[in-house]
Structure 1
Amino acid sequence: MLTVTDNARTAVEGLVQANEVPAEGGLRIAEAAGQPGNFELVLVQAPEAQDEVVARSETSHVFVDQAAAAALDELTLDVQPDVEGPGFVLVQAEA
């Protein structure tokens, strides 16, 4: 299962609050349409029926599309600070 760092969790919470996403919503990761091997991250009001919840807090969640779950299984969601806000990255999970 995809793991989420504390820094990524904090960044998701900040984005959710800044965009007034309800507490049951959060960041959703899915395969990019027509771009195999690429993923899109989007803020959603609620998960899709088949989404996996990989991180949760009182104010936000991180959801993974069921079709993308296997490809993300051994990865970690982290952030790289940027002048315009955090940039999410997927990195190989540490053993």
Structure 2
Amino acid sequence: MLTLTDNANTIAATIVAQQSTTPEAGLRIHSSGTTDEPRFSVTVASVPEPGDEVIGDEELHVFLEQAVSEALDDKVLDATVDEQGAVSFTLLPQPA
């Protein structure tokens, strides 16, 4: 199952809180593009889409599109904020 670093959890929770007042809202990760190299998009959603896997806790809900859930099953999501305030998400392998 995809896990989040403490940084990713904090940054994602802040993004969701800034963009939605709905307690059920969460960060939705879905596929974008149809290339051989998988690409993912991150948006704030008020509720999960049908078929989404929901992970997280009381502080943050993460909605994973089904294909994304399978592709990221063995990954860790990290996040950083640069000096200009832009957020970058990075996928890392889970430790063995």
Q: TM-score, normalised by structure 2?
A: 0.85
The root-mean-square deviation of aligned C-alpha atoms, in Å, is 1.6
Amino acid of the residue matched to residue 63 of structure 2?
Answer: F
C-alpha deviation, 1:74, in angstroms: 0.7
C-alpha deviation, 1:56, in angstroms: 2.4
Q: For residue 73 of structure 2, what is the aligned residue in structure 1?
A: 73
Distance 1:13 1:45 in 2: 13
Amino acid of the residue matched to residue 64 of structure 1?
Answer: L
Instruction: Give structure 1 stretches of 5+ with no counterpart.
Output: none
Q: TM-score, normalised by structure 1?
A: 0.86
Distance 1:64 1:51 in 2: 5
1:25-63 per-residue CA deviation (whole Å, 9 max, x = no partner) reads 1111111133451111111111012111121224x3111
Aligned length: 94
| Aligned structure 1 segments of 4 or more residues deviating by more than 6 angstroms | none
Amino acid of the residue matched to residue 12 of structure 1?
Answer: A
